[in-house]
Amino acid sequence: MRPITLTLACAPYDRVRPLFDGRVRVEGVEIVPVPLASEQSFPRAVQRAEFDASELSLSSHLLQVSRGEGEYVALPVFVSRAFRHGAIYLRRDAGIARPKDLEGRLVGIPEYQMTLGLWVRGILADEHGVDVNGIRYRTAGTNAAGRRERLPLELPAGMDVAPLAEGDTLNAALLRGALDAIFSPTPPEAFAAGDPRVVRLFPDPKAAEIAYHARTGFHPIMHVIGVRAAVLARDPGLARRLYEGFAEAKRVAVAEWDRSLRASAPPAMIPWLPQAWEEARAVLGPDPWTYGVSANRAELEAVLRWSAAQHLARRRLAIEEVFAPGTLDT
């Protein structure tokens, strides 16, 4: 039987490269790599389903599943994870000293539906009792104009979510006082340049994130891999084989890091990188980047709850609705 050809759009992460370069093979599959940053692949996947398999925003995927839309079924392959306490930026003179002070404020975010927003709001609600649906949200690119929601929202009348004017940015709006805060994966230019007018809500985000992980066990899931349902329907075992291929690619990447960080010449221009790797494992465990449903069930249940509570998903989804049946026991 000839292998099927599968286009895979994904950023060339260290944990994916072994699949891209052929060091890891998936039985019966010829993967055609399409290395794309998520900002490029997400709209093309959710709006046009251009690829057989694609990196997907977890939040946008849940929104589509709840609406019965979208052509992808997710694999519990979490190619992007990131702690998010450091993604909350404030105007120093806005009078925000603690998370509860964000209630009722004007807060900028690139897209209301983005997974970063889902996580930040979930953390603020669960950990700090913030009424996140009472915050007034304004959307735009953080440092470059033109960003808009990739999928239409269905928010209740009482929620205040609206785009900034055409050509505006979150960074500019924060500096002129039109916003009190920003939730963003990319630092606003003013903060990156050391402008004293912009500060973080959590001054030591790393400490806050380690403490959060210690309390919850969560390492925030941002992106999943989706495979077109029509492709999976033709080969019932494909979802499991793809999952195992991604898991093997991650194992290869971890082994590669272990070897390179023990070498006498550093693999990257980052002093103390070996110490950082060991510290991450001390906090997160020997596998700091877990795939699969079972090891992440509590975290996934929290995300599903937040998606409905924040009026993104039309209802609270079950894990079994989100991930391919052949991967639910992973």
pLDDT band at 265 (very low <50, low <70, confident <90, very high): confident
pLDDT band at 236, cuts 50/70/90? confident
In the three-class reduction of DSSP (H, G, I as helix; E, B as strand; rest coil), residue 167 is classed as coil
Confidence category of residue 1, pLDDT binned at 50, 70, 90: low
Q: Using the predicted structure, report yes or no on whether residue 11 has a pLDDT greater than 80.
A: yes
Cα(56)–Cα(38) distance, rounded to whole angstroms? 8
The conformation of residue 68, written as its DSSP 8-state character, comes to: T
Distance CA 15, CA 227 (A): 18
Q: Could you give the 3-state DSSP secondary structure of residue 262?
A: helix
For residue 183, what pLDDT is reported? 98
- Closest-CA residue to 75 (of 289, 230, 234, 223): 223
Query: Are 174 and 188 contacting, i.e. CB atoms less than 8 angstroms apart?
Result: yes
pLDDT on residue 108: 98
- Residue 29: phi and psi, rounded to 5, are -130, 135
Q: Please write down the long-range contacts of 16-25, taking CB distance under 8 Å and 24 or more positions apart.
A: 16/79, 16/246, 16/249, 17/249, 17/253, 18/248, 18/249, 18/252, 18/253, 19/245, 19/246, 19/249, 23/249, 23/252, 24/245, 24/248, 24/249, 24/252, 25/245
CATH second-level architecture of 85-216? 3-Layer(aba) Sandwich (3.40)
CA angle 259, 264, 268 (to 5 degrees): 70
Query: Kindly report the CA angle at 256 between 255 and 259, in degrees rounded to 5?
Result: 85
- Put simply, whether the predicted model's pTM sits higher than 0.85 gets the answer yes
pLDDT of residue 130: 98
Does the pLDDT value for residue 126 go beyond 90? yes
Kindly report the backbone phi and psi dihedral angles of residue 254, in degrees, each rounded to the nearest multiple of 5, phi listed first: -65, -45
Q: What is the residue extent of each domain of the chain?
A: 4-81+220-327, 85-216
Task: Give yes or no on whether 4-81+220-327 and 85-216 have one common fold.
Answer: yes
Question: pLDDT at position 2, please?
Answer: 82
pLDDT range class, residue 266, cuts 50, 70, 90: confident
Average pLDDT, the chain: 96
Sheet containing 106-109: which strands, arranged edge to edge? 161-163, 136-139, 106-109, 181-183, 88-91, 198-200
**3-state DSSP call for residue 208?**
helix
Predicted pLDDT at 258: 93
Dist. CA 199–CA 197, nearest whole Å: 7
Residue 274: alpha-carbon gap to chain centroid: 25
Are the CB atoms for 31 and 20 separated by under 8 Å?
yes
Question: pLDDT digit string (tens) for 53-96?
Answer: 999 999 999 999 999 998 999 999 999 999 999 999 999 999 99
Region of poorest pLDDT, from 63-67, 128-132, 267-271, 309-313 = 267-271
Write down the CATH number for the domain with range 4-81+220-327: 3.40.190.10
Residue 51, classified by CB atoms within 10 Å of its CB into exposed (0-12), middle (13-18) or buried (19+), is buried
Query: What is the average per-residue pLDDT within 156-179?
Result: 97
Q: How far is CA 142 from the centre of its chain?
A: 17
